[in-house]
Structure 1
């Protein structure tokens, strides 16, 4: 809210008044503010004294004189019409209208009626101009004419369109109404005609508020005039009137700014006819009459603003403890006079009182209740409870089953059960039997003060140590109770909208019933009312009925400061949605403009948002929830603070969203959002991360390639060493063992030739020669295997195919070599090792398998070399397959060779099902690298650079 004062412009946000004296940095302080108006675009027009004016929009001030080239025109009044167009009359000059960003002339200098000091716009598109000396004029369809010439005063201070289509006219000599082309006769008090009218405004209830030189006057829609706010002393001028969004009326004048709040509660006190400021017990009957009893004694009622007093049977001299009504009867529990039943008869009442002489347990009745069937229960101070039914009393005490003889409260439940609250527990009476509940049954305390059953048939139990409820036969204590409900509770009632109202020693609370039962109560589900809401005081009373609901659903509350009434239906209907206003935003301590697209540089550690609400009445009751899209997973908890700080946000796009509840806890306001972007640092950009990822991948690839290169080099060295060792062994075996065997064989052959044919030793020598021939052949085969190094140009499949010539097979065995894909160049040593492994597997198959089919399958895959040798022979015993046969080293050698070259070997065989030898060598080990691929070229360049760099450095040093 903006307020124009003699010292400058004042801004009010609900908490603080901020004086703005220098809105333009390079300009002098502004003069007194004489008028304010807002247009359809949300611009605030500020009329200053003299030829000066300001325009405020989106947090910035500007000078419209420069913008529209107005020169030195002094504006004498300002108005915004129904369509948001601003009307600006100049001093003895033209009258302008601002619309759609343009300032146009609607009254030229020749048509000017004079010094215009008041303006009004009616829905018929007419503009009314009140002058300082020349009376009232009307501008309609471009034609200006003088009206209401019969006015006694030609100085028109204020104008206000009337609801009937006419025009209220305020002058120094009172108020007038121009209607249907004439001045209407007003039946107003004569004192109003003598007042100087300075300002007028109409509120949302069609009341006309009039600011005078002696205070405020209100004219209701019915025409009634309220002069309560008038001050007979001078110096109480009201020059400005404004109604805010919450319906509160603001008055400005010689005494500053005052606010007349439209309180949520209406409180009646002695000025409204109540006998005293304090009220104890209260009750509402079916006719709308409110019964109440002051602490000093007596029984009173109020209906439609009228207050009545009951003087029957000495009630005016006795203190009334409790009141209960139903079916035209009012039951009264008295301090000394027992029980009194009032029956309405016409415009009066008849009374029937009951005492101990009539069978009542005690003349001091603290609590009374009338059942639906007419049965009356009277709970005494110390003698138990009496039941009056059919004109007869039945008394019950602790000897009858009651937990105590003192009865604090009585309630009849929906099923006809009667419940009693006592200082020693809760008691129920049904079917002639009493049932008691104490703290051992789940009550917070056995000291039960008050009980109440709501429309959902939940029995609420108010104890000295807290609140409990009985539902479905079980006593439960609500979870997550607010602090206000943990203090001493005096009374409870349910309004017409299903909310529970509680009175405590210091609070009047309205609580969401469903949330209270479910244990999910939050701060916004509990509304606390105090002096700002219409109460004259917050101190409660500890009577049995201190809060009740009438047939219209209104809540009546007895307090030590008077009798208060709250209408929840009206409160909810007039509950204005609250909009959140972003006051300021800072990033890393520097202010940013939240109205523009916000880009926050990288490296900012914290972002702070300050916000407020459009509620000016009770801003402390407004609650907020916010969420930052891009960071928060859900909405925040409900908070009352007006600032939120986010720290260490990463780069990205964010949207700050916030909503507010209104003063009755409804979240019916619109959502306010602020988008902003945090720019990434160079090391947070996508291209930097991609570059880092690519660098890491290249580094890993280089390390891998280097490792493979080193591994291959080590394997080649090992292969060369093993080949040299095998060659040496073959040479030694050939030169020693095999030559010796051959020499011995020749000697035996000579000896055999010299023996006669009939010599008995000749057959023996022949067998020895045959055996030595076999050994010699096997030795040659072994040496051939040790020295085999096929040419690098010969492929594996070719070498395996030639084995058929080395090991002649009978015609029954089918031998095939299969190639699954195109061949690839193999490393020579790897090819030799693979060949030797395959050769050993084939040797076993040829010599021992007795197979009908033997196959060798060679696969040159992209990632591996695979050689599979399989036969359909007799198979190998599992024990031999796992551990080998003693004295034979074929399988052991196959495993050792495959392990040395980093290959994967699998042996599968079953007796009678053949054998499979499956060898897989990784491609990085088996295949020769293509010297023309990009990676190889890059590695050759890198290696060359590493070799040439020291040489270039040396050459440079030599040149130096």
Structure 2
């Protein structure tokens, strides 16, 4: 059975049959089937485009001839319920594919571009004025080629088309499945085969649209209760079902009017109306949203936006911006209070530890003074008494006198240690001067230019902090004078609001990388000792050094621990903050 015959550019014939495709050149036939690449032997249409490419449509797909074999355009498809696929080429050389399951598509660069998915096309022709007329089960459709091009270029743009049905005088909207079922005669009239006979369309006398329809909202219901339309709509918090009914008035062809709507901030794109022409929303976010409606005129041409209506959804208390900002502020305030309380606890714990250490040092100093040193002093007095009873020329007398002189030095050092264990007698606000005295006493080891820098408002240091910082600084200065071979050294003390910093730097030979990595030098315990002292008072000791570029040592201690004057209690700070607020 032959389904289509096409005369090719070389006057040969391409014949579509239910058993494949035949190519007749003169009296010679060349048959093509599945063995030659066809998707199916049940061929429904064959077409030669402007580039002389042969296209074949079957119920299993679309194929095109490459050399002597057909190649499939896309994967095999399910049967199309007996609706054939058809090819139509317009005057500009654009090739269209019509029929289920393709709907209306454009064939471009080997790909099918969808134009109208839900259209089961039976036949299609191009009329003057670049218009495609398609027949289907539900009527006749007129598509401007310009609108098709725009739709393929801008996918969100609506497709203009005119739907011809029984309201236009057809006895039946369902066209027949014969091929062709739509033609145009030389007088310009279009003839269409329908299931109830032959229909004549005088397209030259087709009425033109004179105006756009009038779009309005006749009714609104909220939770099933009808409310006045008004200039805008305000929804109370918690509204779960809102139904907005739309209407368009056009006296030329009211049954052909199509409408779309969109609620900004809710709908991602334009929505087609149903038969009820009602938009139903169950959840509208708080805020003001524009409800837009557009429609086609009697020629099927879409307007930009024919109607706009404001819909305001009121928010619950917990959804309002000021309430959320208030909650965020309260949460931030609570976090700040907790942070201050935690800092206060840590500061008190640190001060308690320092106080206990101070009390322990004073107890040890007191015990040494009252017991150990008193006992040693008694022994020395007895040795002195025994020495005075020896003759002047007694050899042992000289030995005892020398030992007594050495013991005086030992006792002096012991008393200094006891004094160090007690609260320091130095001025705790002048660490810079104390370290400068250390540098002055060390100038006998090496001539070094020394500078002392003090930044910020001087604060009184806690006695333990002062003593440990002093010992760390003294150790650093001693190492610099003895080992660094420096020509310049300086101390920098910073009384910052948040921390206390002591820096000691020199321009000497620097430290070896191995010493920096290990943290100490073999047989020397100065660096570990400084780190231990810093850790005991809650501080941090950092050392930077490079060979030939000098060394810098920095001690950092939190201000809440370092300074003698306590910071304002948390309760007082919070109360002051609330008063200011």
TM-score by length of 2: 0.74
* Alpha-carbon offset, residue 653 of structure 1: 3.1
Of the three residues 111, 133, 144, the one matched with 1:501 is 133
Counterpart-to-counterpart distance in 2, 1:836 and 1:582 = 88
1:389-468 counterparts in 2 under 5 A? 394-398=26-30, 413-415=49-51, 435=68, 437=70, 450-460=86-96
- Structure 2: gaps of 5 or more residues: none
Rate the CA distance shift 1:878–1:762 in 2: closer, same or farther, 3 A: farther
1:228 paired residue number: none
Shift in CA distance, 523/369, structure 1 to aligned 2, threshold 3 Å: same
Change (3 A) 1:810 1:664: same
The corresponding residue for 1:491 is: 123
C-alpha deviation, 1:857, in angstroms: 0.8
Query: Match of 1:955?
Result: none
Map of 2:293 onto structure 1:
658
Structure 2 SS opposite 1:854: strand
Give the one of 359, 375, 379 matched to 1:724. 359
**Counterpart in the other structure of 1:915:** 551
- Aligned-residue offset at 1:680: 4.5
The SS at the match of 1:595 is coil
Which piece of structure 1 moves more, 507-516 or 638-647?
A: 507-516
- Shift in CA distance, 624/888, structure 1 to aligned 2, threshold 3 Å: same
Q: Report 1:286-325 matches (<5 A).
A: none
The Cα of 1:739 is off from its aligned counterpart by: 7.1
Q: Secondary structure at the match of 2:50?
A: coil
Q: What is the distance in 2 between the residues matched to 1:924 and 1:916?
A: 25
Q: Residues 716-765 of structure 1, C-alpha deviation per residue, up to 9 Å, x if partnerless?
A: 21111111222333445565389759967995998799799997x99999
The structure that has the greater radius of gyration is: 1
Q: 2:187 & 2:556 partners in 1: Cα distance? A: 92
Q: How many Å separate the matches in 1 of 2:280 and 2:386? A: 112
Distance 1:620 1:566 in 2: 18
Determine the structure 2 residue equivalent to 1:703. 338
Cα contact 1:626–1:656 (8 A) shared by 2: yes
Partner Cα distance (1:540, 1:520) in 2: 29
> 1:682, 1:461 → 2: CA distance?
57
| Alpha-carbon distance in 2 for matches of 1:450, 1:827 | 97
| Contact kept in structure 1, 2:106 and 2:114, CA below 8 Å | no
- Relative to structure 1, the CA distance from residue 716 to residue 377 in structure 2 (aligned partners, 3 Å threshold; closer, same or farther) is closer
Q: For the Cα contact (< 8 Å) 2:191–2:201, is it kept in 1?
A: yes
Q: Work out which of the residue numbers 298, 303, 314 in structure 2 matches 1:668.
A: 303
Kept in 2, the 8 Å contact 1:457–1:471? The answer is no
Distance change (3 Å), C-alpha of 1:647 and 1:414:
closer
Q: How does 1:887-926 map to 2 (within 5 A)?
A: 889-926=525-562
Three-state SS of the structure 2 residue aligned to 1:484 is coil
| Structure-2 residue corresponding to 1:593 | 228
Residue 266 (structure 2) aligns with: 632
Alignment partners' CA distance in 2, 1:543 and 1:634: 41
1:494–1:549: 8 Å Cα contact kept in structure 2? Answer: no
Mapped partners of 1:377, 1:888: distance in 2? 106
Q: Which of residues 476, 479, 490 is equivalent to 1:841?
A: 476
Q: CA RMSD in A?
A: 5.4
Q: 2:575 aligns with which of 931, 938, 944?
A: 938
Partner residue of 1:559?
A: 194
Question: What is the correspondence of 1:9-88 to structure 2 with a 5 Å cutoff?
Answer: none
Pairwise CA distance, 1:715: 1.6
Rounded to whole Å, the distance in 1 between the matches of 2:41 and 2:543 is 98
Contact 1:855-1:869 within 8 A present in 2 as well: yes
Q: Distance in 2 between matches of 1:937 and 1:613?
A: 64
In the alignment, the residues of structure 2 paired with residue 596 and residue 635 of structure 1 have an alpha-carbon distance, to the nearest angstrom, of: 24
CA 1:495 to 1:764, structure 2 compared with 1: closer, same or farther past 3 Å?
A: farther
Shift of 1:413: 4.0
CA contact (8 A) 1:421 1:450 kept: yes
CA contact (8 A) 2:163 2:300 kept: no
Matched position secondary structure for 1:714: helix
Q: State the shift of 1:562 in Å.
A: 1.5
State whether residues 499 and 513 of structure 1, in contact with CA within 8 Å, keep that contact through their aligned partners in structure 2. Answer: no
Q: Distance in 1 between matches of 2:462 and 2:367?
A: 28
* Structure 1 equivalent of residue 212 of structure 2: 577
Please report how far the alpha carbon of residue 665 of structure 1 lies from its aligned counterpart in structure 2 after TM superposition: 4.0
What is the number of residues matched between the two proteins?
A: 562
* Separation in structure 1 between the aligned mates of residue 187 and residue 130 of structure 2, nearest angstrom: 13
Matched, 1:870 2:505: yes
Could you tell me which runs of 5 or more consecutive residues in structure 1 were left unpaired when the two chains were aligned.
Answer: 1-363, 388-392, 943-960
Cα distance in 1 between the residues matched to 2:521 and 2:94: 90
Aligned-pair CA distance for 1:469: 7.8
SS at match of 1:704: helix
Larger RCO, structures 1/2 (Cα 8 Å, 6+ apart): 2
Which residue of 1 is the match for residue 247 of structure 2? 612
Given the superposition, is the C-alpha separation of residues 371 and 722 from structure 1 closer, same or farther in structure 2, using an over 3 Å criterion? closer
Match of 1:812 in 2: 447
